[in-house]
Amino acid sequence: LVKMKSKTRTQNKYVNYTAEVVLKRVLKYVWKSKFMIICSLLFLIAYTFLELYQPKLINKMLDDHLLGVQTTWEKIDTAGVIYQGNNYQKIVIDKNTDISDKEIISIVYYEKKYYVLDGNVTTTAIISIDNDSNIATLTNNTTTFTKQLTSEELKAFYNPSIKPIVKLLIIYGSLTLVIIFFRFFQHVFFLFASMRLTLDIRKDAFDKLNRLPMKYFVNEPSGKIVTKITSDSEGVRGLYQVMFSIMTAAISLIMVYIALFKVNAKLSLLTLLATPFILLWMTVYRKANNKYHHRIREMNSVINAAMAQYVDGMEIIQQFNKEDAMTTEYDNLLITNYGNKMKALKINSLFGGELLLLIQNALLALVVYYFGLNFLNEESAITAGALYLYVTYINKVFDPIREIFADLNALEDAFVASSRIFDLLDQEEDKYLGFNERPVFEGDVKFEHVTFAYDEKPVLKDINMHVKKGQFIGLVGHTGSGKSTLMILLQRFYDLQEGVIKIDDIDFMNYTKQEVRSNIGYVLQEPALFSGTIKSNITLGIEATDEEVEKVLKLIGAEKFVNDYPKGINTELAYLGGNLSTGEKQLISFARILLRNPSILILDEATANIDTETEIMIQNALKVTVVGRTTFVVAHRLSTIRNADNIFVLDDGEIVEQGTHEELYNKNGKYRKMYEAQYNQNK
């Protein structure tokens, strides 16, 4: 298992996680619950020991009592079992016992009847019994007197065993209750530790998301990220459970073998002959199964990502009548995944539990054959109780092995899932994070020789821009010109590659990213809303009273639509704000920024998807909020920046024009062409 490797895609490259590395990572999480793990193991050892002791009670019950009547009895003078006026007690005869001066009888079970014979006689020594003459012919060509026992006589021989049998049954039942008790607490401690593991790794994974650079979320589909944190984190828990199960099975196996050697060392060594076959089977089974579990886990992630994409784009899918095409595409993913699962199922059917059952039965047949040969040899014949004990232990040997093989599928799947979540946790974190205190920015912003590329092609080329405190700045240009990228760099969602950005003549790299963002308000074209109320979406963790929130809404003219709801700002929002219009969502987004009161405002196409009436409200709010603040507007509608102090026109990553609306319009350049094209289109 330690040789197994898991390949996980990470930013267009693959990282190999050996089983050893994954296990060490999991053990670090498990060790946090070491008390519960140790308690679970102690309970496991305790109930395993008791489960191994129980068959010995059955062995004693069979050999000494239920079948113990079929033995040699010695005539005594004191009280014992009364038979034909004489007292008898059991006597154990071996090679060193002298019976020449003893009067003994033997009770044997022959052809479904019990007989009393004179002398030391076993069932295997009898050739025949003549009930008419009461003579038994033995294998040594001698004869001896015999008599069939009546029911009353047989009961008399069994009477001394009644109390010991009851006592053994009480002990057996008590041990069963104790085993149930130990099993319960072992399971509880085990589950507590596994749930703690899931909790810790999900917390770490979510905390990791907050420290990842923006490029990770651009390159990795959201569906895959969600799958890693939810499903793959459960995979780590599954790995812990499987490994713990294998460890407990190994402990049980060792304890069973120790007990087995005490019963019969020779047969215990014989049992070990199955080990090479089992190990060979395990190796073939794991290798054949491993590759399909990698494919299945990866396909599950792809399917989840595709489903999230389809749900998010359902409006467009229906608008363009692409339901059938999308269904076919999704069905193909399901069929591919189904094929991988069927191949894994075939391997499991060929090399699964049935093969283990075959090995187990073959071993039991070998044991029966061995005992059958010994049964013909009086010196090494085995009792029925000992046979029961050994067969029980043989089955207990295979029980943990069966658990291990049952866990192999889960083990492969858990290794794949664990490697994926550890891949997330091992991603290179964003730099310059932290928050000491919110700096006081005046709002003077300079871009000096800023060049930036997402891949190889530069998006920004030697940008130089000076925005003075309190200026209202418009950024315009065709799609891909670099205007949004410029604002992304200002907010430090990506690290600078070339050049410097200064705020109040101080390199903004002197601040952490959170400190810079705390003074920047950002309004997107598609506002992000979260579960909760209108108020909680406006405050986003800021301590604010209802009056302060309502004041901000009134400032932007949004109090009317909020007041239309019976609960006002305490109205619960549907998923992603589904019970609000696009304009209402945008107004909440504006209120959120205004309550934060930043020194710098960024509006990235913020008025692109709202109606004229709502745009007028936002324009009126902006006239109030831009006072004393530096405002950048990435404009789609050029009318929104007509009154800007300065407008920068970008084309192919370069600033090609700048000035006020009138200055740029009179230049008869690129800005005028864009403005007239939009004006004519609107007209």
Task: Count how many residues are written for the chain.
Answer: 683
Residue 184 has pLDDT above 90, yes or no: yes
Look at strands 86-90 and 72-76 and give their pairing. antiparallel
Residue 479 has pLDDT above 80, yes or no: yes
What pLDDT shows up at residue 448? 95
Range scoring the smallest mean pLDDT among 204-213, 282-291, 313-322, 626-635: 282-291
- Please state the rounded mean pLDDT for residues 648-652: 93
| Per-chain mean pLDDT for the chain | 81
Q: Are 461 and 509 in contact (CB under 8 A)?
A: no
Tell me how far apart the alpha carbons of residues 63 and 54 are, in angstroms, rounded to a whole number.
Answer: 15
| Chain Cα centroid distance, residue 591 | 40
One DSSP character per residue, 477-490 reads: -STTSSHHHHHHHH
353 or 47, higher pLDDT: 47
Tell me how far apart the alpha carbons of residues 287 and 190 are, in angstroms, rounded to a whole number.
Answer: 29
Q: Are 431 and 492 in contact (CB under 8 A)?
A: no
- Please state the rounded mean pLDDT for residues 373-393: 63
What pLDDT shows up at residue 289? 67
pLDDT digits (tens, 9 = 90+) for 4-30: 334 444 443 445 677 778 888 888 888
603 or 395, higher pLDDT: 603
The H or E element spanning position 135 is strand 135-138
The 3-class SS string of 290-301 reads HHHHHHHHHHHH
> Which residues is 130 bridged to in the sheet?
135
Residue 106 has pLDDT above 50, yes or no: yes
pLDDT digits (tens, 9 = 90+) for 298-315: 787 788 778 877 877 787
What ranges make up the beta strands (E) of 530-597?
A: none
With b for 16 or more beta-carbon neighbours within 10 A and e for fewer, the 559-598 pattern comes to bebbeeeeebbeeebeeebeebebbbbbbbbbbbbbbbeb
Tell me how far apart the alpha carbons of residues 115 and 125 are, in angstroms, rounded to a whole number.
Answer: 13
Residue 661 has pLDDT above 80, yes or no: yes
By the 10 Å C-beta count (0-12 exposed, 13-18 middle, 19+ buried), 98 is classed as exposed
272 or 434, higher pLDDT: 434
CB atoms within 10 A of CB 665: 17
What pLDDT shows up at residue 350? 67
CB atoms within 10 A of CB 152: 7
What ranges make up the beta strands (E) of 387-471?
A: 445-453, 458-467
Q: Integer distance in angstroms from the first to the last C-alpha of the chain?
A: 71
- Please state the rounded mean pLDDT for residues 62-67: 76
What pLDDT shows up at residue 302? 81
Which strands, in side-by-side order, build the sheet including 498-503?
A: 458-467, 445-453, 498-503, 506-507
pLDDT digits (tens, 9 = 90+) for 592-617: 888 888 899 988 766 665 666 666 76
What pLDDT shows up at residue 2? 33
Residue 153 has pLDDT above 70, yes or no: yes
Residue 415 has pLDDT above 70, yes or no: yes
Greatest extent of the chain over all pairs of C-alpha atoms, in Å: 140
Look at strands 472-476 and 630-634 and give their pairing. parallel
What pLDDT shows up at residue 625? 67
Provide the percentage of residues in the chain whose pLDDT is more than 70: 85
Tell me how far apart the alpha carbons of residues 294 and 607 are, in angstroms, rounded to a whole number.
Answer: 46
- Please state the rounded mean pLDDT for residues 159-176: 90
- Please state the rounded mean pLDDT for residues 646-675: 92
The 8 Å CB, 24+ separation contacts for 96-102 are 102/74, 102/75
- Please state the rounded mean pLDDT for residues 127-148: 84
Angle between helices 582-596 and 612-625 (to 10 degrees): 10
Which range of 104-118, 546-560, 654-668 scores highest in mean pLDDT? It is 654-668
What pLDDT shows up at residue 3? 37
- Please state the rounded mean pLDDT for residues 68-81: 82
Residue 293 has pLDDT above 60, yes or no: yes
What pLDDT shows up at residue 543? 85
Q: Give residue 445's pLDDT band: very low, low, confident or very high (50, 70, 90).
A: very high
User: Among all chains, which residue has been given the structure tokens 């812990």?
Assistant: 240
User: Among all chains, which residue has been given the structure tokens 């109606």?
Assistant: 611
Tell me how far apart the alpha carbons of residues 310 and 228 are, in angstroms, rounded to a whole number.
Answer: 19
Residue 278 has pLDDT above 60, yes or no: yes
Range scoring the smallest mean pLDDT among 45-59, 108-122, 289-303, 414-428: 289-303
Residue 182 has pLDDT above 90, yes or no: yes
- Please state the rounded mean pLDDT for residues 78-94: 82
> Which residues is 72 bridged to in the sheet?
106
Q: Specify the amino acid at residue 573.
A: L
What pLDDT shows up at residue 16? 60
What pLDDT shows up at residue 10? 41
